[in-house]
A and B are shown apart, each in its own frame.
Chain A
Amino acid sequence: MLDVRNLEVVYEDVILVLKGMSMHVPDGEIVALLGPNGAGKTTVLRALTGLLDVHRGEITRGEISFDGEVISGRQAHEIVAGGISQVMEGRRVFAELTVEENLRAGAYTGGGRADASDRVFDLFPVLAERRRATAGYLSGGEQQMLAIGRALMASPRLLLLDEPSLGLAPQLVEQIRELIVEINEQGTAVLLVEQNATMALSIASHGYVLETGKVVLDKSAEELLADQDMQEFYLGVHAGGAGHSFRDVKHYRRRKRWLS
């Protein structure tokens, strides 16, 4: 369904952020894209949805195709109309508009199915209850649901989620996780960007780990969960007593730099 080949992205003409990354999202599946802060995950999503311009970024090499059609270089609204919607990092609901208006904004392209809003209200009954509330007054969890609901109004075939669990309490993360599974079961493929690797890999079929703009691991979710490096650096499982090898220390330093 979605194919990314050797994608290279540069910001401000000089800052090389994606260094030839490739990935594949098969129809109807959940794929996780993991990696530390600053690895370039959000940049991948921007490239997929035509939002690099806004950030003075540019695809300098490589190609993105969706159902066999090359979509790199298309404008954001064409990509949404073509069936890919993104839930941006930080939710980005239109805080001054009501819940209902936010959803209508999500339906702007007119490509959504007639029952799109029924589907959204089924998935998120709280949005139906609060449809006339100003979005800015919703809780963090409700805003995340609104952001997802808004993206679903275009009835996308591929949904991109950028850190949907960020800043949410554990039981809300669990709720979001179940909702993602449900959305996927209704036939929408999902590309899930997460720092919470445990959560993401528990529902994904496949995972990619991105570090400084390169894919360093590309495995099925099961294999990733079992992977030694994965366990140590992303899943919070520490190899007992063995001590860190030099390679690990270097790796750790690199991560610290990304954090700054």
Chain B
Amino acid sequence: MTTFLQAVVSGLALGTIYALLALGFVIIYRATDVVSFAQPALMVFGAYWAMYFATVIGWNFWVAVVIAAVLGAVMGAVIERLFLRPLVGRPVFSAVMVTIGLDIVLRVIVDDLLGINQRTMGDPFGLQTVNIGGITIPQSDLAAMLGAILVISALLVFYRTTKYGLAMRAAAFDQEAAMAQGIPVGRMFGLAWALAGSMAAIAGTFISMGNSSLSRSTWVFALRALPVIVLGGLDSIRGAIVGGLIIGVAERLVAAYQPGAAPWLGAGFELVVPYIVMLVVLLVKPYGLYGTAEVQRV
């Protein structure tokens, strides 16, 4: 039982980070119809900023996280303005290709900045744990979970209540009708990229803290959010959150039980779990859990 609960709790912590990453993809997709493959680079770059301000400059870790989030937003917005905006109206495929190119270029840069070592993030958690009702939870997991919940809630409030959130929803639903209301949709694209960049930065920081570290291979983690968005539905905010949690928990449960129950599947089998869950769900619901069957765009 303890093993089970422990796996579930750590799965939820992992799942909230997946949700953060998946939301980045979904926000950009909803606004622009483009699946942005630049998210991995933005994630690593964001984590790099947090690490830089916390360990190299030596500021408080949470201050560094906020700076990373802001810089992530700026990077997202600038990238959108310089490289994606000129492609508005062209086939979506070209824009997707550009995001792949951007990802490669940005990762070359950040790899160079990082060097070949594993970098610790300068977070206060290390390997410390807390014990709640017999379950041992790494402090970093708990912090990541709470942090991600906070960020996601803020995003939902932003979408539901603010003028810009409303404008983004309107533009996502019908771009031309939004323009006819005087909503500058180009700026909404920029805003979407800024939000996605910021969330990628926070997610990158959270996965690299505690007993993990930041290195040149951290970016792969962002690709594991892809099954999450396919599972949840490309254009669904709720899908990204629920999908993230499902996949996080499934992954950790498999990690906890598979080595004993089915050792013949080999080590590291849990890393395939997101894809398996995705495939199974797609057989039943081709547009994901919450996806729109036909997303009408103009």
What residues make up the interface of A, taking CB atoms closer than 8 Å to B?
49-51, 53-54, 56, 75-77, 79-81, 85-86, 88, 92-97, 101-102, 104-106, 108-109, 111, 150-151, 154
Taking residues whose C-beta sits less than 8 angstroms from the other chain, chain B's interface range is 10 to 19
- How long is the Cα–Cα vector from A79 to B173 in the complex, in angstroms? 21
B298 close to A54 (CB less than 8 A)? yes
Q: Is the CB of B182 within 8 A of A154?
A: yes
> How many angstroms from the CA of A102 to the CA of B183 in the assembled complex?
12
**Stretch of B21-29, B79-87, B162-170 on the interface side:** B162-170
Question: Chain A's nearest CB lies how many Å from the CB of B26?
Answer: 15
Check if B146 is an interface residue, CB within 8 A of chain A.
no
Instruction: Tell me if B179 and A51 are in contact (CB < 8 A).
Output: yes
Q: Are B182 and A88 in contact (CB under 8 A)?
A: no
> Which residues does B use to contact A, with CB under 8 Å?
89, 163, 166-167, 169-170, 173-184, 298
Q: CB distance B166 to A77 under 8 Å?
A: no
- Which residue of chain A is the closest to B186 with respect to CB atoms? A75
In the bound complex, what is the Cα–Cα distance between A105 and B188 (angstroms)? 13
Report if A56-B176 is in contact (Cβ < 8 Å); known contacts: A77-B183, A104-B166, A150-B181. Answer: no
Looking at the complex, which one of A80, A92, A96 makes contact with B182 (CB distance below 8 Å)?
A: A80
Rounded to whole Å, the gap between the CB of A13 and the closest CB of chain B is 13
CA distance A31 to B106 in the complex (A): 55
- Nearest-Cβ distance from residue B25 to partner chain A, whole angstroms: 20
A111 contacts across to B, CB distance below 8 A? 182
Can you list 22 A-B pairs, Cβ within 8 angstroms, ordered by A? Answer: A50-B179, A51-B179, A54-B175, A76-B179, A76-B182, A77-B179, A77-B182, A77-B184, A80-B182, A81-B182, A85-B180, A85-B182, A86-B180, A94-B174, A94-B178, A97-B170, A97-B173, A104-B166, A105-B167, A109-B181, A151-B181, A154-B181
Write the nearest CB–CB distance from A240 to chain B, whole angstroms.
Answer: 44
Contacts of A97 in B (CB 8 A): 166, 169-170, 173
The answer to whether A105 and B183 touch (CB under 8 A), given A94-B173, A96-B169, is yes
Q: Which residues of B contact A108 (CB under 8 A)?
A: 163, 167, 181-183
